[in-house]
Structures are given as C-alpha cells and as structure tokens.
Amino acid sequence: MNGVPLGWEVVIGLETHAQLSTRSKIFSGSPIAFGAAPNTQANAVDLALPGTLPVMNLAAVEKAIRFGLAIGAEIAPRSVFARKNYFYPDLPKGYQISQFELPVVIGGTIPIVVNGIEKTVQLTRAHLEEDAGKSLHEGLDSHGVSGIDLNRAGTPLLEIVTEPVMHSAEEAVAYAKALHSIVTWIGICDGNMQEGSFRCDANVSVRRQGDSKLGTRAEIKNVNSFRFLERAIQYEVRRQIELIEDGGKVVQETRLYDAGRDETRSMRSKEDAMDYRYFPDPDLLPLVMTQVQIDAVKATMPELQPAMAARFVREYGLSPNIAHALTQSKAFADYFVDCVAAGGEPKLVSNWMTGELAALLNKQGFDIRQSHLAPSQLAQVVIALQNGSINAKGAKELLHAICEKQGLAQDLSIDALIKQMGLEQVSDSGLIKKIIDEVLAGNQKSVDEFKSGKEKAFHSLVGQVMKASKGRANPAQVNEILKTKLNEAGAS
Amino acid sequence: MTLAELSLAQLRTELDRKKISAVELAEYFLARAESRTDLNAFLHLDRTLTLAQARDADIQIAHRNYSATVNALTGIPIAHKDIFVTRDWRTTAGSRMLENYVSPFDATVVEKLKVAGMVCLGKLNCDEFAMGSSNENSAFGAVKNPWDLHRVPGGSSGGSAAAVAARLTPAATGTDTGGSLRQPAAMCGITAIKPTYGRVSRYGMIAFASSLDQGGPMARSAEDCALLLDAMAGFDTKDSTSIDSAETKVSIWRSFQAESASKTSPMLEFENLRIGVPKEFFSEGLSNDVAAAVRAALTAFEQRGATLVEISLPRTALSIPAYYVIAPAEASSNLARFDGVRYGHRAADYKDLGDMIAKSRAEGFGAEVKRRILVGTYVLSHGYYDAYYRQAQKVRRLIAQDFQDAFKRCDFIMGPVAPTTAWKMGEKSNDPVAMYLEDIFTLGVSLAGLPGMSVPCGFGAGEMPVGLQIIGNYFDEARMLSVAHRYQQVTDWHLRTPEVSA
C-alpha cells in the first residue's frame, strides 16, 4: 500500500513557509511586490544599514493569529522574536529574525482525507519570521560576479511545523493541500507556489515496522509543487530503504529535490550544520497577545470551508460533493454566494459553476477572480434559463462569449446580450411546427426507421430540428410537437 | 567671561539680544576645535556644513518665529559622537570598517536636535563601536584628556567628554552601554546623564549592545543637560524599545525647572532627600583620592539637609561578568551586518564569498571589537548558552531587583563613577580585564536600565577630576538633574577648566 514496501514504515513531518500577504514587510515599511526590479523594494532597514532597527508589522501578527484560530491552536499570550545568526551575502543583518523558544501559535490540527480515510494531522507550532534576499549568480553582465537582490528580504513568513505523523507521500500531499486551502481561505497567503509564496520542506525517515525508535531523517527542500512534493518523498523513501537494505545508514542531512532528474541530492550534512546561536532579539519587545486582541481577530474570521460546505448542503439542498466543489476556494465560494444573492437559483448556479464555468476557467488557466463573467451575470443567465428566454445551449454560448470576451459591449445586460447574439429561445409553436415539417420532409429514412420501432431515429430527428433552428428551439416543445407529428403520420 | 564659559541659557540670551549671531558662535567654536587637534577629539569637521546650519538658525532667530521654551537651543552648537549616523558628515563609529561611510539618514537624536535648531559642529571620536573605557580603541587614534595630555579621557564617549571639557563645544551627544557617558564625563570633569533605557531613541545609533545602549547629553552643567535631554528624549516609532508612557510624555525641562524652583531655603536645600550610599561602592578597589572627593560631596548634601542611608547592592561585583557576557553576545550579532557586502570595508583579495566576509571583517575590525565578538559568539554557542547567556540574564534581573529594594529606602543612590581618576595612556591597554574592572560602578545601572549621572565633585591625585555618580529610579531624570543642579549651585567643580597646556 502507498508504494511503501512491506515491513517498512515511513514517517514524515512537514515544515511549510507561507508568505503572509501583507502590504509591507514584517519589520520595515517597504512594499512587497513580486517581480519588481532588483533592490527597488528594499529600504535602509532591509539593507541593514548601520543604526536601523526593526519594527513589528502588526498585520503579520494578525495573520498568524488568524491561522492559529483556523486550526484550533493556542495563541501564545507571550511570544518572543529571536535572532538566528549566520553569515550569508543575501542575509543583510547577518541574522534572521525568527521565533525560537516561544512561537506565536502552538499546536492545532488539520483534518485530511486519504483514500476515503479521515485522519488528523497534529501541528507542533507556527512562528513568524522574515525571509532572506536572493543571490544571483547567473545572468549578470560581468563574469564571476554575484548579485544580491534584497526585494524579498524581510518578507513576512509563517513557518508551520507538523509533528512527524504522516506515513506516506499521499498523506503529506493531502496535508499540504489542506493547509494550502486553509491559508488561502482565511486570506493570509496567496498560495502561489511558483512564486514561492507557499514552500514545503519535508522531513522524511523510514524504520522497520514495529521499531519504536524513529529512523534518521533527511530534510528535503526546494519543492515547489504538490506533484514534486509527492515525487520527492517517494524518491527519498525508496532511497533510504534501499540504502538500509544494502547495509548502509541514513545520515542526517538536507537534500535538494531536482525536479528535472526526479531525485534528491545532498546539500549539507549535519557535520556542516551551523550553530545558529539563537538568542532573544533585544531590538523587539516580546509579542504580548491579550484575549481581547485575539477576540477582535476572531470576530473578523470568515466561515471556514467545512462549515460553509455543510451550510450549503443544509440551506440549498446541494449534494455534499457539489458543496465541496463550490468551496474549493474562498473566492469560488464567495462567487457562488454572490450569484445566489443576485437571484440565481442555488442548484442551477452550482451546476453551471462546477460544470461549464469551471471548465472554462480551467481552459483559460484563470482563477475565478480573473473571470470576465461577474456573479450577477451568471445569476441573470440562470434566471433567463428558468423563464425560458434562453435554452441550455444558448446559455453555454453566452458564457463562452462573455468569458472569452468575444467583442461584446461590457455594459449590456444579459437580456440585451441574448438579443444581440440572437440566442433567444424559440417557443413559438407555429414556427417550430414549420421547422419540424421541413425536417420530416427531408428525412423520410429516419421517419421510416422510427415507424419500424427504432427509438434512436427519434433522437436523430430532434437533433436535426435543433440544428435547423440554430439551437434556439425550445427542446421540450420540439419533443412534444415531433412526437405528435410522427404519431399523426403513423396514423395516416 | 568668554563665550566658551557661557551656559546654554546664557548663550540663548546672547543670541536673542543679538550680541552674537549663530554663525559667529559656530565660527568661534569651530576655531577652538581646529586649534586643539592635539586632543584628537573631532573626527570630522566641515565648516561649510556647520555654517549653513548656523545661517539657518540665524534666519529663524531673525524671524523670531520661536518661543523661548520651544526653541531654547536654536543657534547653539553641539557635536555628535561618531556613533550617531548623520547624512551630512561621515559616520565611522571609530572603525576602519566604516572609514568612508555616509548614512542616507540622520539618527533620531541628530534629527531632533536639528529640529530644535542646534548647529552641528561635527563628529566626535570614540572607542570603536563604543567598545572601550579609555578611547584608545578608536581606529583613528586615541583621544587625550584635556586635563593631562598623557592621560586617557575615558570611554567610549571620550571625544565628546574631551571636547566639552576643553570647551571646543558647549555640548555633545554620547552613548552609554556600560558607563560610556558617565565614566568619560567623570574623567574629564564634565556633567553627563544616561537616561532610563527607552527614553532616547536608538534609531540611527550604531548598535553595540541593543538592550543596554542609551544616548544622552554631555555638557558643563546639569541645567544644560536638562535642556538637551528634553530635546533628545521621546518616543520614536522607529525604535520598538523606546517607551511611550505617561512618564515619557512629561517635559523633562519643565519638571526640572519646577523641581529646582521649589527649593527656597539654601541651607536646607536637600531636606527630605534620602541618599542611599551603597557600601559595595566604597570597598577595596576604590582609590583613596576618589573616595575622599565623593565623601566630601556626600557631606555637602548632608550638611544641606539630606539624609545619608547606608544601602547594599550585593551583586555589584557580579555586574562585571553579567555585563561582559550580555554585551558581547549582543555585539557579536549586531556587528554581523558588517560583512563587506553592501557597505563598509571590503577586502581587496578573496577566494570566495565566505572568504570575502571573513577577510573584510578581519581587516576592518580592531582588536577589542574582535575580542568581544569572539566572547559573544562563544557565550551564545550551543552547549554554552545556558551556562553563560541565560545565567547572565538571571543575574541581570537580580541586579535590577537589588536596585528596587534599595529605592524603598532612598530617593537617589550616590557613589563614585569609577574607582580611579583617568589613568595614563597605554597603562591598561594590554590588560583588558583590568580595563573591564574599571566599569564596576557603572555596569549595574546599565543592566538595570536605570538613569545615572556623573557630576564633577572634586579632584584626585594629579589634579584629575572626580565624578559623583547619582543613580535615580526609572524616569526620575528631571528630579535627578535638579538635585545635581542644586549641588552645582553651591559648588564650582563643574566650572573648573583645564589649563591649555599645549
């Protein structure tokens, strides 16, 4: 099971760095923007110029508390910032401000489901820290020159650490996805893995089944997608088991995942491990959180995904699967709520969102927030469907046209667009009869087949009629009139 | 009386009565500074920059858009310890590492004094990164004591103390981590106050030991210090450890004036004042001449109504090891930013990035700085942290508690600033531990974060000045300055000037 050989047990703990989506850095007023020209988002504090001091960005603290509340953790009444000392050219102060002995978030749990089995992942802690800058060794004008970009230096991170409680790559990925969903749901992280806003490091060890002692672990870094996380862990598990089975020993080390080769490579061993000489940062006061402050944050917490999905089932009679799909992200769920608020019938809205709209977004590579279709527009489309002014085929065309911006005037209402695009459903029975007569006249073979009892021929004729009406005929009416006509023909 | 001998209030009157302009005043002190390069007190002088500020001050005075209380300092010269960053003058911290460094911003203290209208004369020499008790650790040469050019001025604010003592400037800024304002003030016969930790913003003060560093004024009298501290102090959003409380919102200058005015009977000037005299400050190690001068000062207070109370600060001796663990630990981390990557000295030849950082630091830092970085790195290391750093923090808390226990029985604590008067140059420079022991009476105050002053109280052997240390409880600066001021109303030690021997 899970690709782990019989007789072996895998133990995994994850450390995730979630970049907090604050406007400015964690200890300075510099703005945060991905992709800006090097060193344009770094001020005197970020450059660690002599005499500068850090000042806590309370927005980052608020986001850490949101996380703690979302996972049912303890918010430390007093947490302390510490200095993690090491020299690196892209670490301007020569130390990183982090939390060590006293983190802001303690404990908490995240539920996951793997192969239909529910499980709870226990968290150790989550702490606030600043990111380092970036060293650039390539792409510079002169050879042998390294560049430093400090735009990222001082970006707020929440490092979220689990207990070593996961036992397969699948579980680790399920946890990472659940965590990703939570941090984006509560609006503390944009979750963009490509830009490094959400980075997972995996501590992996193996042991023979029944052993009580944990095996020596390796820490895998540089994993920037869920797929790579799964593959990196699988590779590492195989490597460690093979190593032990061949009589070798796993050494405690940091390994980098190379996606191109699908393997992990040793980066530094424990012997090279640095002594970070942590000590409380005397430039920052301990972070003191009162219950009043925590309650104030609590009051601004959104309804969390499980609660919202359950409410959708309860209030709108949706199936649990649909409710789950609607709550795949906060933005998607909000979109649904907005559609319903704009008068869209919940079941129809949910069908269109999880069907046609989801497919379109997928095709466009868009997040729901990037869609050109406003929730109020989808609500109007659903209303038009209900009152018969458009049929399903027309609605599809309309959605495509709006989503793909097919030269439509933005300010037109859905009704006006339906008219402009000529998508109004034809419910004039005289007109439908006329089309049917023409179709029947031109398809004697199908008529004959129907008479000889072939039910399929009927569907073919319906198709012909719909096609002749350019998809605009009311399908229910077409069915009804066609049946009558064929029966009449049969009786004659 | 020459301009050099006038108090800040007297200078104010001269400026307001148009007896002299700010430009003339600046010229006068610049000329004095230029005439005493033998002291090596100033590191950077720039007439153009100074005179431009003085002209601005003259315009303000001419337009009279000021009131006597708000702009009491407009047009009055000051010089800054080179540990405060300035955008106009270079800032070296007395180190090769920052030999040509120019800051893009002014320290909060520098800015506040500039806003108050003060004219900056230049930057003052100090021990490298404020590490030292003799000012012999400056990369740009030792500072000489104006009272005896063969002696040290104390440290680390030695340039500031020497400049004020030689009347090269009416006032200077300094910083105190373990005594760096008080000890050089004592050795040069001037007045200085280290405020309560958190009173004065550390933003732009190049950090030595963040939990101890505190800026303060150095001048010729307590009254002048009160005026200066009032302008320097205040909550700063850029420094998380600066304090924003009811106490820090009260004007130090107005409280000082109120305290000083209320005492009317000169013979019972200090009635109801309880002075704690710590027995540990008068033990072996204190030289007789210093003891005699300090005791005479205590008697002067007693004669004017004060009550002397013997108190105990039982962990006085422990303040030395506690301090010399905590301060180097913080320094080892604070000085990590000087890596030759973004600014400061960078080695000419190196193999790789690691080598570049190592060589740049090896070349850029002096011996004492390296010694403290090594000690600090050691005490924070894995396996030693609990034995040294954590233990030192415990001692620190106990020392603070000892002071609070003492303040239950007295209003102020008084004793010597340093065990001896200024020593001969080179005498202790090869014995760092002997030098560290000189800090015994000032370290406890720093560890506890209390305010402390040095007030001239006589002369010891070789006619070298002796300082009386006054220690107050948190935020009691105004009252403490007033006590010192009233002492200076009945004594003239602070008015003595060294003869120009050069």
Q: Could you read off the pLDDT of A178-213 as tens digits, one per residue? A: 999 999 999 999 999 999 999 999 999 999 999 999
Check residue A453 and give its pLDDT.
80
**Res B500: pLDDT:** 66
Print the SS3 string covering A371-411.
CCCCHHHHHHHHHHHHCCCCCHHHHHHHHHHHHCCCCCCCC
Task: Check residues A75 and A481 and name the one with the higher pLDDT.
Answer: A75
**Cis peptide leading into B156, omega within 30 of 0?**
yes
Is B221 noted as a catalytic residue in this protein? Answer: no
Rounded Cα–Cα distance for residues B77 and B88 (Å): 16
What's residue A443's pLDDT?
85
Three-state DSSP at B471 gives strand
Residue B317, number of CB atoms within 10 A of its CB:
14
B374: in domain: no
**What Cα–Cα distance (Å) separates residue A458 from each residue in A201, A436, A443, A492?**
60, 12, 11, 18
Q: A50 to chain B nearest CA, in Å? A: 5
- Indicate the pairing of strand A279-280 with strand A263-269: unpaired
Positions of CATH 1.10.10.410 in chain A: 429-491
B157 assigned to active site: no
Instruction: Kindly list the strands in the beta sheet with A95-99, ordered across the sheet, starting from the edge strand earlier in the chain.
Output: A95-99, A81-85, A279-280
Task: Name the pLDDT band for B70 (thresholds 50, 70, 90).
Answer: very low
How far CA B81 is from CA of A285, B6, B215, in Å, comes to: 27, 22, 10
How many C-beta atoms lie closer than 10 Å to residue A101's C-beta?
10
* 8 A C-beta contact, residue B458 and residue B297: yes
- Name the residue among B202, B205, B377 with its Cβ closest to that of A277: B377
Q: B1 or B95, which is more confident? A: B95
CATH number for the domain whose boundaries are A429-491 = 1.10.10.410
* A279 to B240: CB separation less than 8 angstroms, yes or no: no
A380-431: pLDDT as tens digits = 999 999 988 888 888 898 888 888 877 666 667 888 888 888 788 878 888 8
Q: Do B377 and A53 touch (CB under 8 A)?
A: no
**Residue B502 confidence (pLDDT) above 50:** no
- B330 to chain A: which residues are within 8 Å by CB? 279, 282
Is the predicted pLDDT of residue B67 greater than 80, yes or no? no
Q: Quickly state the pLDDT bin for B264 (edges 50, 70, 90).
A: low
**Mutation choice for A interface testing from B102, B212, B334 by most A CBs within 10 A:** B334
- Rounded Cα distance between B472 and B450, Å, is 7
Q: Evaluate whether residue B372 is within a structural domain.
A: no
Q: Is B337 among the domain residues?
A: no
Q: How far is A175 from chain B (nearest CA, A)?
A: 33
- Report how far Cα B477 is from the mean position of its chain's Cα atoms: 14
Residue B266: predicted pLDDT:
63
The DSSP 8-state label assigned to residue A144 in this structure reads T
The answer to the question of residue B244 being in a domain is: yes
pLDDT at A490: 57
pLDDT for position A485: 82
Bridge partners (DSSP) of residue B274 are: B307
- Work out the pLDDT band at A480, boundaries 50, 70, 90: confident
Task: Identify which has the larger pLDDT, B197 or A224.
Answer: B197
- B314-330 residue pLDDT tens: 999 999 999 999 999 99
A51 contacts B107? CB cut-off 8 A:
yes
The total number of structural domains in chain B stands at 1
The pLDDT of residue A115 is above 60: yes
Neighbouring C-beta atoms of residue A271, cutoff 10 Å? 8
B289 is a domain residue = no
Nearest chain A residue to B86 by CA distance is A51
Q: How far apart are CA B372 and CA B289, in angstroms?
A: 32
What is the rounded average pLDDT for all residues in chain A?
Answer: 91
pLDDT (0 to 100) of residue B77: 98
Domain that holds residue B224: 3-261+476-491
Contact assessment for residue B84 and residue B204, using Cβ atoms and an 8 Å cutoff: yes
Contact residues of A toward B, CB < 8 A: 44, 47-56, 83, 85, 87, 89, 92-95, 146, 148, 275, 277-279, 282-285
Grade residue B66 by pLDDT with cuts at 50, 70 and 90.
low
Residue B156 annotated in active site: yes
CB contact under 8 A, A93 and B380: no
